[in-house]
Amino acid sequence: MKALSIKQPWGNMIVSGEKTIETRKWKTDYRGILLLCSAREPDIAPAGCALAVAQLVDCRPMSVLDEPAARCRKYEGAFAWILEDIRPIKPFPVRGELRLFDVRLDKDQLEYVDATGH
């Protein structure tokens, strides 16, 4: 499964539904299921864990209209990664990497929870 490491507190904001656009200074042609993982730094729980599964439906240059959903201001060279169908999962450890990376995982192994962790 394709995965993306996200720094905190942005990862938790995606899980709670507060943030539906992730921003990067690079684009991807990948579309589909994406495992969202919390980076180890900063050490904000659950650090170093998979947090949610989402559909990456688009990746395009960020506009000022994306700011509310991205929870940040537009910046030079930013791309908006549009996330839909964000489904929190029971966190489990994942060793993150830069850029998109692969996690060997059968999606039937994921334990879905609500945003409160239940």
- Phi, psi (rounded to 5 degrees) for 79: -115, 140
pLDDT of residue 47: 95
Q: Given the structure tokens 């949610």, which residue do they identify?
A: 52
Closest C-alpha to 36, from 73, 11, 17:
11
CA distance 58 to 43: 29
Output the six-digit token pair for 117: 């962790």
Domains of the chain: which residue ranges? 2-97
What are the pLDDT tens digits along the chain (118 aa)? 999 999 999 999 999 999 999 999 999 999 999 999 999 999 999 999 999 999 999 999 999 999 999 999 999 999 999 999 999 999 999 988 899 999 998 767 799 997 666 6
pTM for the model stands at: 0.91
**Under 8 Å between Cβ of 84 and 20:** yes
- Fold of the domain spanning 2-97: 2.30.130
